[in-house]
Amino acid sequence: KCRTGPLDIVFVIDSSRSVRPFEFETMRQFMMDIISSLDVGPNATRVGVIQYSSQVQNIFSLKTFFTRAEMERAINSIVPLAQGTMTGLAIQYAMNVAFTTQEGARPLHKKIPRIAIIVTDGRPQDRVTEVATQARNAGIEIYAVGIQRADMNSLRAMASPPLEEHVFLVESFELIQQFGKQFQDKLCGVDMCMEQEHGCQHSCVSTPGSFYCECNPGYRLNVDGKTCSPIDACADGRHGCQHHCVSARGSYSCRCRAGYYLNQDKRSCTMMDYCSFGNHSCQHECVSIPNGHYCRCRSGFTLQPDSSSCRATDLCNGVDHGCEFKCVSTEGSYRCVCPEGQQLQADGKACSKCGAGHIDLVMVIDGSKSVRPQNFELVKQFVNRIVDLLEVSPHGTRVGLVQYSSRVRTEFPLNKYHSADEIKKAVMEVEYMEKGTMTGLALKHMVEHSFSELEGARPLSHNVPRIGLVFTDGRSQDDISEWARRAKESGIVMFAVGVGKAVEEELRAIASEPVEQHYSYSADFTTMTHLVENFKLNICPEEGKGETEIRSPCECEALVQFQTNTVAILQSLTEKNILWAPSLAQMTARVEDLEKQVAKKK
């Protein structure tokens, strides 16, 4: 065996048409004989094979196989190309591809010889001198082996100096095997590591006429070229460990800080979830931290001294809620409420009467063919005048719009817009539907959808008035009675506005009690502006400018309270037999006299 140390050898084999099949078999055997004498392996000699004719074909590269058996199987499977003889092209491929580190050649600084063995039987059909010079200057040692008809001048132009050691001419293919044994001696020179004291700390690698030292994995060669030092794999900062890098003989491992564990990528760390152990006893939420956990309460709750349980926080007592009348605590929050007859303003704190309060208003407008486009524009203006009366906001008045003809369409729900300007703009963009007049279907849609919490209606428990305003100009093509009744039974205050050919009977059926205050009629679309003022007076009686008697609730309440308290005391005294019947009669008379005096003061 050849023991001179590792080599990178590439066979460059001529498979042109001039090489007969039986002659190519001898070339196969030549390569296998050479390989059999080599110590092949990833850290020993590496072998590659390319064949060429008019083109170049890579059989296997320096990184493909590392056993002789694999190499021999690949060599035996070669199919000759049987075309021209482009030797220069083959040398170019060997230099640019076969001897690159990407294809398995060791880096030049390792000083491992790069050897190309060119075997050809004829004259090249391209230029070889220049490309061979480039290959030799790139560090490739070229052996040129010519067989039978080979051109000696071409062989000498390709080979490395000294030519007498790198140019060979074999008379026939039959003699190539015998030549192979001689060629092995050329490749296998003296083992320089055995011939002298090399001084390498770890291992010595022999090369033709010299040697060099190598270190074991995990060590690097020192500047003296002989001794070795351990490699600190963590020192270059490229380890990628999230927490700690631990170096060990040229390699490293990652380690996590206490309270963390190493992920499958062996680099990143994840904090241990102590809450997942199931023994934290937190009433609401468990929060993991390194080396432990703590309990946390949901918003609106306070953690108790046991550090586990939670108690609801009475925010009405703990914050400056600003409620004008009364603050009501809820889980994690609070809300302001107003006395009966007054409503919460848009700021969510102050109370006011209807005019400045809030309602949920859904307007249902007739878009049938009888309305006509120009009148439909007047209807939209009518709607916007009503919007001008209202204080629109998310916490104040909400407005929705429905149009109907033969079908029903929600133009926008109660929770769509939060200002009067947005609503008025949307109203003017509504498109006229035309076709029939299905007022009953529209009422059904209003009850089932428009006043649902999903579309923005406040819950009934909030006592926000629900008002439906139906605008129509003619007789309905379906029955309205059932859904008009259902609307009122569900707590919706219904207003009916009729124009032109609207049927009074249907308007009265739609309107809430008292009917006279909840329906209006105009003979013409152009004269219906007065209906806006009627609507304002009916939904807010205190806006009536004297038409509705306004009494002081304070005086009224004081009188009622006085009556109630006095009667209760008298009944209690009677039950205890403290007063005689005559005394009771006298007291009752005095109470009646006081009532009359209070009435006169009013």
Q: Tokens 């008292």 sit at which residue? A: 514
Asked whether residue 503 falls in the same domain as residue 563, the answer is no
Please give the pLDDT value at position 324: 75
Three-state DSSP state, 441: helix
* The pLDDT of residue 599 is above 60: no
Instruction: Report the alpha-carbon distance of residue 414 to residue 358 in Å, rounded.
Output: 13
Q: Does residue 413 sit in the same domain as residue 501?
A: yes
Specify the pLDDT at position 400: 96
DSSP state, 286? Answer: E
Q: Which backbone phi and psi does 502 adopt, to 5 degrees?
A: -60, 145
Domains in the chain, number:
4
Residues 521 and 578 in one domain: no
Where is mean pLDDT largest: 16-20, 350-354, 413-417, 573-577? 413-417
Does residue 38 share a domain with residue 179?
yes
Cα separations in angstroms, 299 against 102, 296, 303, 315, 337: 62, 9, 11, 11, 22
pLDDT tens digits, 21-50 = 888 888 888 888 888 888 899 998 999 999
Paired tokens of 496:
């009916």
Question: How much is the average pLDDT of 501-520?
Answer: 89
- The answer to whether residue 337 sits within a structural domain is no
Q: Is residue 158 a part of any domain in this protein?
A: yes
Residue 266 lies in a domain: no
Which of 437, 387, 436 has its CA nearest to residue 412? Answer: 387
- Over residues 79-125, the pLDDT tens digits come to 999 999 999 999 999 999 999 999 999 999 888 889 999 999 888 99
Domain assignment present for residue 325? The answer is no
Query: Looking at the structure, do residues 522 and 578 belong to the same domain, yes or no?
Result: no
Cβ–Cβ < 8 Å for 339, 325: yes
| CATH number of the domain where residue 457 is located | 3.40.50.410
pLDDT for 353? 47
Instruction: Please report, for residues 8, 112, 127, 490, the alpha-carbon distance to residue 90 in angstroms, rounded to integers and kept in the order given.
Output: 17, 22, 11, 95
Same domain as 463, residue 525:
yes
Same domain, 495 and 375: yes
Mean pLDDT of 203-232: 84
What dihedral angle (degrees, nearest 10) is formed by the CA atoms of 154, 157, 163, 166? -70
Tokens of 96: 């640019």
**Where does the pLDDT of residue 293 fall: very low under 50, low under 70, confident under 90, or very high at 90 and above?**
confident
Asked if the structure places residue 195 within a domain, the reply is no
Q: Tell me, yes or no, whether 523 and 581 share the same domain.
A: no
Tokens of 204: 């010595």
- Give 117-143 pLDDT, tens digit per residue: 999 988 899 999 999 999 999 999 999
Strand-pairing partners, residue 170, are 147
Average pLDDT, rounded, for the chain: 83
Do residues 455 and 585 share a domain?
Answer: no
Q: What pLDDT is recorded for position 553?
A: 41
Report if residue 86 sits inside a domain: yes
Comparing 229-238, 340-349, 364-373, which segment has the lowest mean pLDDT?
A: 340-349
In-domain check, residue 292: yes
In 3D space, the residue among 261, 27, 9, 39 whose CA is nearest the CA of residue 117 turns out to be: 9
* The one-letter amino acid at 91: I
Q: What is the mean pLDDT of residues 165-178?
A: 74
Q: Please indicate, yes or no, whether residues 519 and 591 belong to a single structural domain of this protein.
A: no
Domain limits for position 85: 7-187
Does 453 share its domain with 571? Answer: no
pLDDT category at 183 given cuts 50, 70, 90 is low
Same domain membership, residue 377 and residue 306: no
Residue 525 lies in a domain: yes
Q: Which 3 state secondary structure label does DSSP give 185?
A: helix
The per-residue pLDDT for range 364-403, each reduced to its tens digit, is 999 999 889 998 998 999 898 888 878 888 888 999 999 9
CATH number of domain containing 283: 2.10.25.10
> pTM of whole model > 0.75?
no
**How far apart, in whole angstroms, are the C-alpha atoms of residue 392 and residue 398?**
6
User: Do the strands 398-404 and 360-366 form a parallel or antiparallel pair, or are they unpaired?
Assistant: parallel
